[in-house]
Structure 1
């Protein structure tokens, strides 16, 4: 039976300021770069924070991230005598309403602040120390009540069997609102040991370097942590101070237990496999390392001060070996009970025994092994997910469902007309999992037993015959490939990732294959929402009209450059699309003032452009400086003098200048504010200014025919595209159509003196009408499969198509008939661009697979770490750079 520790006994609690201060100058918290907070400093900071909370006993709700601020606040709340509710980085308003805390300590506008709230007349019990949310009741306000005795006893037991001393240092990577992470902190502070806070995830560049430099003697993780350690090459590095590692929070596969046990044993270190639940503060069992070999599937023996037994359904003790029953735990770390409301906080300890809900057996050596579940619970990524709770959550949304699950995923079978994607989102909200870990299937009726109860076994048999959510994985992988080396999170969208028109086309191709029908405004949808959509079979797929325009425009450019026929409308259409894409994909960055985000799409264009410039420089033996500085289209340089690359690349220079002009305009706060409130009006005003510049600049700046390549000559086209993207209703679309048509008719019929000029501007009327009034178009499947690759590879075709006639076919030109040569040049230019585009896609697929862990064993750990982190190649050392390039 637990011995209650009253409020008057706080002086013996090991986390009080006096006990922390008694550790003196010993390091307490250690950070990357060598900064250290010693115990005396920690005690002083805890004392200062606790003094702000001195008042009648109450409840502190803490945003418990892995930072010194959260640790100090946690210790201060305990020192001040309050109960403390630890929450994840996103604290729920519901829990605040249910438990009505007296203080809330969290980050507000990037700074840690304490909110003094109204609180509640109900005073928490004197023994209550910590509230930890149970994962199985996410969103339901259910917390585990832990006493000071629970915390102290569990910390002491863990320190005992791990042999912790003041000389130890742990690397804390587990969240504090998770009982396992909190127990790591508590156990080390209880003996005066130190805690290293890396401030980064395992996959981040430099994690292993920091671990090695920090002098950590131990590292604790959940099974997923060991997956990540494998990806970054942990076992290929030396950590001379490391004396043990621990795993808990779920079942680590026996083969991986064996792998790490052998690895650590060979280096004189130990591997602790542990078992626990939040209801037992953290740990209940562990496998002594000297007994682990050959018993990798065991959870071991009870921790010091606790006991484990097995009981049958009637509560009778099972003593024989290999006889299954429910695992029962007794010890001073068993929780006080659950809390569903503020009133529950006043209750004392109600439990002395914890029925774990796990089926277990004891082997002949006295070690326990889990063989199943008595309760309907899944444990995924360290979270215990109650199936009954998920069914109740769906029922509140009028969805009749039966939920089954494993330690890999949750699967809900439901009745009704709801969209499976909606059901999956509700499961995610209720469980705290991701869309990749939940499935939903509509069925006509739930199977029932003769008793009327749901036949879950029938559903499990049905589930075994169905595949996993490959489409969800496909969407996520597609985003990772196209945004490599950026990290893509489920909540990211195309726009939040800084997508641009080039990626837009390529993503549309991939989503078309995965989802069947690409939804409207998909670029604003989170990745997990797209992943949840079910493929829809259809006869005539829809694509964006801008894709068709882009494909036709690049074909017109190739055709015009080869034949010089008077149909030069392709480049003008591409300028309109450039403005259209800038408005769709970069207006958020412009309106928010995050102008640096414009550099990301520019890099995609400038890297291949400068490779071409470098190639010309090598071939000529001279540097085309005008092209280096992106001003070759201004008319003062000439390819014949080798001062710029061929005129073909004027579009890239003009595009970069265009982006800089938009960036400069929106760098002005007044412009940003006006455009944010009235984006369409701002666009139309800019169109008027751009058209005025188009009329005035040729009079002020006489450079002859080269003026057609300059920004003033074409900027109004980009602004027309910008306005088309912001036209939200028929009146606005009509206004853009009238303005654009007037401009094009004036420039084509009144000002234009060449037939090609007339055709060029008349074609733009059709382009503008398509963007405004026909945003999507239905095409046969064969046409979609032709248009989308051409559109996606448009940039590659543009920059490479002249290599075919000017370089590859030049030696055979005298031997080919003119028609054959022209057709070969046109087709060859298109095919070359498509091949390079396809090659780039394959490259990024390979890099994404490499980052996921499929790397040769002989690659240096630093290389693997780079690929996992997504950092550019230049962040590696010279030797590792060479290794990557050789591989």
Structure 2
């Protein structure tokens, strides 16, 4: 028995006989010409009818399989695929998108001679691309169609026809038969005329099972109504044109249109729902406020798949039922809405978010700023000036000039973390990466947490530090487990004060000073603005407050000159770096040209003094004069024009900067030794740098997936009432 969501969108068991499983395996093995010497690369789950059919069809011919233990996107998949000796690869359309994104369409292992795709409709241009790839290799690309109710397979497109008929599902599999029926049950025989696709063959199911008693039943059907509308041409090739049932299949989910209508009605919306396998359309008779977000939540899909249109009165048939074909005409007249509420809700989860909120009112931090920027750049090709102060509703309808390129703080953050990684591995004179990050830290806190200080909300001010402390705690726990003791100085966030060394295992390696300094500065800032006059100054005259903070920081910078720590460890302390944080504040609050000039002059004085006090050597002057250039760019450069791919790359690295900083040294110091990788120095450096950045990006993606997937799921499990995770059938 395999599970499918059937025709109603609710989970059903499909009863499959041994005869059906064997017939399905034999038919697939026949039209794919599977030989005993073949080996299939299996990246599909075995609880999915497609994956199971790959297993059965190869076992039926005595062939072998390679069970992939990693995602296609996992590092090293291409090498593992080649080492497996696989001769074929089966996947759904998304798998082929991933292969192409990795460049494997041009670098498939030589032994791969057959690719098969099923589990959903692949766009015709993609079919032609992959068919051309395999034709050049003298291999085959086979488009297939099926349903779990047919033990997986119903039709296939002979590979030599893929380039000339890329939109076709082909013909019935060996032993099977296809035909078309009209709504009246009449046979459709004219070429090009549409009808419901009907399949019969030895591999069809015995019937559905919705209870244990159903398992005792014998065969109940001898042919299948697929629910898909199709045409057949003069050559006997079938093409899917739509779905007869009111059902959509989106992102692995079957969504019942009627069930979604009823759920929206329960929420107080007078709505009519229809759709296809790309989008759900919702027509609303009243106010459309919140409909998109509600429909996405109830259906369990992304908001980008929901389209909302206004319709004062629904068109109806004579019997009073809604005329859905008439509603479909609205698709051509209504623009797709800009749906940002779900994105904001996911970014700020578990905080409640409404359309009247803005990024500023929600107290967003720098990481959330980058995350939202990336999403809006992806969806809307740019964002309006001052978007941080606009409500979500205003953003969804905003028009006018859009910002292009990448903002300077994001670009500087990306370059700074790259400089840190390179310097830690190669000792090249790429100075100032960590110092630039401290400056950006001050800029970010001033921009995004000033209101929390002015309103004296310490909890809100410190809340973003959890995004730092939680992964830091995980790393600390890892070291504690490896060492067999707790590095207490790092646990208390005081090891940067020089009270012990990493060799004692009472503290983490030196590079984690940044987290300790960040937390200490956060506490210090809270203490400084504990007094009401300081908060009033920050509220009424923020630029003056930032200059006062810079003055205090320069006084504190004198402490290491009179009471230095051993082995140059003063550079890891708050007195050494606080002036950089304060410069970030000055940059954030410098609005007029005069204030910007004052800030640049103050930066020149402060950074020159730091270079002199730091030993007055050429490396120090290079570092601090580079930081002066960074300050000038942040003050006077709003955005840097770059190609879109470079903008996306900078945003990705900037968003993952902290995780890269936290984890990058694990690659050369833990992972490479564990794997026994001993390479020449240039290769070691390259692997360490690229691997460290990749590890940080992967960790950031994992944390973001957790916060976007698990946390919202804990808040609402309503979507599962309407949809069930589908075992893709085509």
TM-score by length of structure 2 reads 0.56
CA deviation digits over 1:6-36, x for unaligned, max 9? Answer: xxxxxxxxxxxxxxxxxxxxxxxxxxxxxxx
Instruction: Please report how far the alpha carbon of residue 518 of structure 1 lies from its aligned counterpart in structure 2 after TM superposition.
Output: 6.7
Determine if the alignment matches structure 1 residue 594 to structure 2 residue 455.
no
Question: Which residue does 2:334 correspond to in 1?
Answer: 466
Measure, in 2, the Cα distance between the counterparts of 1:273 and 1:228: 17
Measure, in 2, the Cα distance between the counterparts of 1:244 and 1:155: 17
Closer, same or farther in 2 for the Cα pair 1:334/1:592, shift >3 Å?
A: same
Measure, in 1, the Cα distance between the counterparts of 2:384 and 2:6: 32
Closer, same or farther in 2 for the Cα pair 1:182/1:837, shift >3 Å?
A: farther
Question: Which residue does 2:31 correspond to in 1?
Answer: 161
SS of match in other structure, 1:226: helix
Aligned partner (choices 132, 140, 146) of residue 3 of structure 2:
132
Contact in 2 for aligned 1:329/1:353 (Cα 8 Å):
yes
Structure 1: gaps spanning 5 or more residues: 1-129, 480-498, 523-529, 539-546, 548-568, 600-629, 635-653, 664-710, 725-735, 745-754, 762-785, 808-826, 853-872, 882-887
Instruction: Please report how far the alpha carbon of residue 382 of structure 1 lies from its aligned counterpart in structure 2 after TM superposition.
Output: 5.9
Determine if the alignment matches structure 1 residue 326 to structure 2 residue 196.
yes
Question: Which residue does 1:306 correspond to in 2?
Answer: 176
Contact in 2 for aligned 1:412/1:440 (Cα 8 Å):
yes
Measure, in 1, the Cα distance between the counterparts of 2:550 and 2:635: 31
Determine if the alignment matches structure 1 residue 424 to structure 2 residue 295.
yes
Aligned partner (choices 257, 260, 263) of residue 133 of structure 2:
263
Measure, in 2, the Cα distance between the counterparts of 1:435 and 1:305: 43
Contact in 1 for aligned 2:496/2:516 (Cα 8 Å):
no
- Superposed, 1:715-726 pairs within 5 Å as 717-718=524-525, 720=527
Measure, in 1, the Cα distance between the counterparts of 2:291 and 2:385: 14
Contact in 1 for aligned 2:366/2:444 (Cα 8 Å):
no
Instruction: Please report how far the alpha carbon of residue 276 of structure 1 lies from its aligned counterpart in structure 2 after TM superposition.
Output: 0.8
Closer, same or farther in 2 for the Cα pair 1:880/1:473, shift >3 Å?
A: farther
Closer, same or farther in 2 for the Cα pair 1:874/1:147, shift >3 Å?
A: farther
Measure, in 1, the Cα distance between the counterparts of 2:330 and 2:448: 54
- Superposed, 1:226-375 pairs within 5 Å as 226-375=96-245
SS of match in other structure, 2:16: strand
Question: Which residue does 1:838 correspond to in 2?
Answer: 639
Aligned partner (choices 791, 796, 802) of residue 603 of structure 2:
802
Instruction: Please report how far the alpha carbon of residue 385 of structure 1 lies from its aligned counterpart in structure 2 after TM superposition.
Output: 4.0
Instruction: Please report how far the alpha carbon of residue 333 of structure 1 lies from its aligned counterpart in structure 2 after TM superposition.
Output: 1.9
Question: Which residue does 1:503 correspond to in 2?
Answer: 367
Determine if the alignment matches structure 1 residue 455 to structure 2 residue 319.
no
Measure, in 2, the Cα distance between the counterparts of 1:803 and 1:874: 38
Determine if the alignment matches structure 1 residue 660 to structure 2 residue 521.
no
Closer, same or farther in 2 for the Cα pair 1:422/1:832, shift >3 Å?
A: closer
Determine if the alignment matches structure 1 residue 388 to structure 2 residue 258.
yes
SS of match in other structure, 1:264: helix
Contact in 2 for aligned 1:168/1:217 (Cα 8 Å):
yes
Contact in 2 for aligned 1:517/1:536 (Cα 8 Å):
no
TM-score by length of structure 1 reads 0.47
Closer, same or farther in 2 for the Cα pair 1:716/1:243, shift >3 Å?
A: closer
Measure, in 2, the Cα distance between the counterparts of 1:400 and 1:440: 12
Structure 2: gaps spanning 5 or more residues: 348-362, 377-382, 400-408, 410-441, 479-493, 499-509, 539-546, 554-586, 609-627, 654-682, 692-730
Quote the RMSD (CA, aligned, Å). Answer: 5.6
- Superposed, 1:762-841 pairs within 5 Å as 802=603, 831-834=632-635, 838-839=639-640
Provide the aligned length of Structure 1 versus Structure 2: 504
CA deviation digits over 1:104-139, x for unaligned, max 9? Answer: xxxxxxxxxxxxxxxxxxxxxxxxxx131327655x
Closer, same or farther in 2 for the Cα pair 1:235/1:340, shift >3 Å?
A: same
Greater alpha carbon shift after TM alignment, 220-229 vs 318-327: 318-327
Instruction: Please report how far the alpha carbon of residue 397 of structure 1 lies from its aligned counterpart in structure 2 after TM superposition.
Output: 4.8
Measure, in 1, the Cα distance between the counterparts of 2:62 and 2:590: 63
Closer, same or farther in 2 for the Cα pair 1:850/1:248, shift >3 Å?
A: farther
Instruction: Please report how far the alpha carbon of residue 329 of structure 1 lies from its aligned counterpart in structure 2 after TM superposition.
Output: 0.2
Closer, same or farther in 2 for the Cα pair 1:186/1:473, shift >3 Å?
A: farther
Question: Which residue does 2:52 correspond to in 1?
Answer: 182
Question: Which residue does 1:219 correspond to in 2?
Answer: 89
Question: Which residue does 1:77 correspond to in 2?
Answer: none
Contact in 1 for aligned 2:293/2:339 (Cα 8 Å):
no
Instruction: Please report how far the alpha carbon of residue 324 of structure 1 lies from its aligned counterpart in structure 2 after TM superposition.
Output: 2.7
CA deviation digits over 1:740-780, x for unaligned, max 9? Answer: 99xx9xxxxxxxxxx9799979xxxxxxxxxxxxxxxxxxx
SS of match in other structure, 1:412: strand
